[in-house]
């Protein structure tokens, strides 16, 4: 019989799976990745084909050279092994298995198509399969939907997932903290997701926090 000691647990890398899909707001997902790297986590990254399209349209990435784009966006992290990038169709990747150990998964931003697939158990690619694994293994799954307006099917799918314990964190920035820049707004949303992950950060001023 093999037992796992506290030392073994401490030596295991802390892993989060991050998905980026084709909803507007790719900067949210990229910023989340950067913050998790700064906090010392190992990332397993999956980007949908539409997600790559949004990275091109919104951030100007050269998506014809995907690995080079990731290396430029996360200097040193790829070479050092802090990020593991999984192609969308690699359904045999480690994160497709329930035996893969990780803290959980965040999809930021999440398109309505991806949300629908997860809500209805349609594991048609690695991203939706990884989310399905989080559900069946009762691991944290955080979804940041970005769409407006919402119709009844969108809302029903969110409700279905919320009832399964998924944390739904819509991309709805607040303004009580007095954001001055676009970065402030992005940091607020990323901070809310990191709150849901249980990770300490100083990305935004909380309500009642004195001005510095």
The answer to whether 23 is annotated as binding is yes
CATH value at residue 156? 3.40.50.1950
Range of the domain at 161: 13-197
* Residue 146 is labelled as binding a ligand: yes
pLDDT 10s digits, 143-184? 999 999 999 999 999 999 999 999 999 999 999 889 999 999
Inside any domain, residue 108: yes
Residue 208: pLDDT band (50, 70, 90) is confident
**What 3-state DSSP class applies to 15?**
strand
Does the residue 204 lie in any domain?
no
Find out whether 108 is annotated in a ligand binding site: no
Whether 68 has a binding-site annotation, put simply, is: no
Provide the mean pLDDT of the chain: 93
**176 a known binding residue?**
yes
For residue 86, the SS3 value is strand
105 is in an annotated binding site: no
Task: Let me know: does 66 contact 36? Beta carbons within 8 Å.
Answer: no
Predicted local confidence at residue 209, as pLDDT: 75
Please count the structural domains in the chain: 1
Give per-residue pLDDT as tens, 64-120. Answer: 999 999 999 999 998 899 999 999 999 999 999 999 999 999 999 999 999 999 999
């Amino acid at each position: 019989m093999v037992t796992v000691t506290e030392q073994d647990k401490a030596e295991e890398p802390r892993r989060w799976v991050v998905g980026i899909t084709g909803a507007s707001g790719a900067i949210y997902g990229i910023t989340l990745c950067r913050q998790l790297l700064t906090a010392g986590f190992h990332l397993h990254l999956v980007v949908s084909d539409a997600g790559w399209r949004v990275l091109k349209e919104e951030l100007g990435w050269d998506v014809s050279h995907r690995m080079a784009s990731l290396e430029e966006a996360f200097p040193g992290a790829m070479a050092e092994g802090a990020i593991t990038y999984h192609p969308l169709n690699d359904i045999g990747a480690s994160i497709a298995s329930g035996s893969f150990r990780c803290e959980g998964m965040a999809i930021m931003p999440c398109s309505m198509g991806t949300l629908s697939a997860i809500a209805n158990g349609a594991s048609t690619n690695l991203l939706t399969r990884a989310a399905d694994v989080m559900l069946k293994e009762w691991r944290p799954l955080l979804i940041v939907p970005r769409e407006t307006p919402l119709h009844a099917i969108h809302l029903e799918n969110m409700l279905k997932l919320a009832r399964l314990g998924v944390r739904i964190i819509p991309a709805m920035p607040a303004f009580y903290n007095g954001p001055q820049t676009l970065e402030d707004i992005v940091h607020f949303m990323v901070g809310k997701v990191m709150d849901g992950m249980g990770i300490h950060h100083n990305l935004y001023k909380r309500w009642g926090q004195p001005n510095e």
